[in-house]
Amino acid sequence: MVKKSDKFKLYYVTSPHNLSVIPDEGIRAEADGYIRLFTDRKLALGIAVRLCLRDYALYQVNPKGITVPVEPPKAEAAYQILVRQGQIAPKYVKHLRCYKITGPMLGSG
């Protein structure tokens, strides 16, 4: 179960195209019905790079915005929390910063 204290931090990475949407709508579930959150900031950033996102935005999510039981992490993704919830309200989401990778991506060229 996710700790509901303000000290426990969760992270979310997405395209910067969502910067204008998240302040009004919060974080919406993907097509499979899940919101994928990460328990470690560095690992969240690493996932963005692994997904080959050249530009991405990092958000901090307050666990109090999670209103449903959380599925326990799988062994291969112990740092990832799957939330089967349609939306996390904007008041629980804080934009931290945007990142841009300017050099070659791993596995390219």
Whole-number pLDDT of residue 77: 67
12 vs 108, residue with greater confidence:
12
Euclidean distance between CA atoms 23 and 15, whole angstroms: 14
What residue spans of 1-109 are helical by DSSP H? 22-25, 41-50
Q: Average pLDDT for residues 2-15, to the nearest whole number?
A: 73
What is the reported pLDDT for 75? 59
Q: Is the pLDDT of residue 53 over 90?
A: no
Instruction: List the domains of the chain with CATH numbers.
Output: 10-100 (3.20.170)
pLDDT at position 65: 95
Q: So what's the pLDDT on residue 91?
A: 97
Could you tell me the pTM of the whole model? 0.79
Which tokens in the block code for residue 6?
A: 């303000």
Q: Which helix (H) or strand (E) covers residue 100, if one does? A: strand 93-100
pLDDT > 90: percent of the chain:
42
Higher pLDDT pick, 55 / 12: 12
